[in-house]
Amino acid sequence: MKPSVLFVCVHNAGRSQMAAGYLTALAQGRVDVFSAGSEPKDQINPVAIAAMAEEGIDIAHNVPKILTTEAVKQADVVITMGCGDACPIFPGKRYEDWELADPAGQGIESVRPIRDEIKARIEALLAEILPVA
């Protein structure tokens, strides 16, 4: 069975969308990827979209989603980004809180380092949750 990962941030418009985009691209179908927000915005941050497009990853058509208890129950790994207190805790799940700067209101020069840190964390996460082929 494929592992599933849920990325959660407040607005589900920047960090969690970039993380989900990277994991979807790098896992190549080997991981089920979800993202949500405790207070989702109505659209993805356009600077996050541009930063990911530079990496060849299209997140422009994603839609911010509200965090649900069901989403947390379905995930094997739950990664919060600045909203850990809003996330329900269930036994048997792996929880991580990634402290990352918020890209909201930032220019592309400020968002690139956030994007690059997310990519490094995704690569490390993949190495931990996927068996070596």
Catalytic positions: 9, 83, 87
* Overall average pLDDT of the 52-77 stretch: 96
pLDDT digits (tens, 9 = 90+) for 84-114: 677 788 889 999 999 999 999 999 999 999 9
Query: CA-to-CA distance for 30 and 21, rounded, in angstroms?
Result: 14
H/E element, 126: helix 108-129
Mean pLDDT of the chain: 94
Confidence of residue 131 (pLDDT cuts 50, 70, 90): confident
Amino acid at 3: P
Count of helix runs (H) and strand runs (E) in the chain: 4, 4
Give the CATH number of domain 2-127; options: 3.40.50.2300, 3.40.50.170, 1.20.1560.10, 1.20.1090.10. Answer: 3.40.50.2300
Buried b (16+ CB within 10 A) or exposed e, 60-92: eebebeebeeebbeebbbbbbbbbbeebeeeee
Share of the chain above pLDDT 70, in %: 95
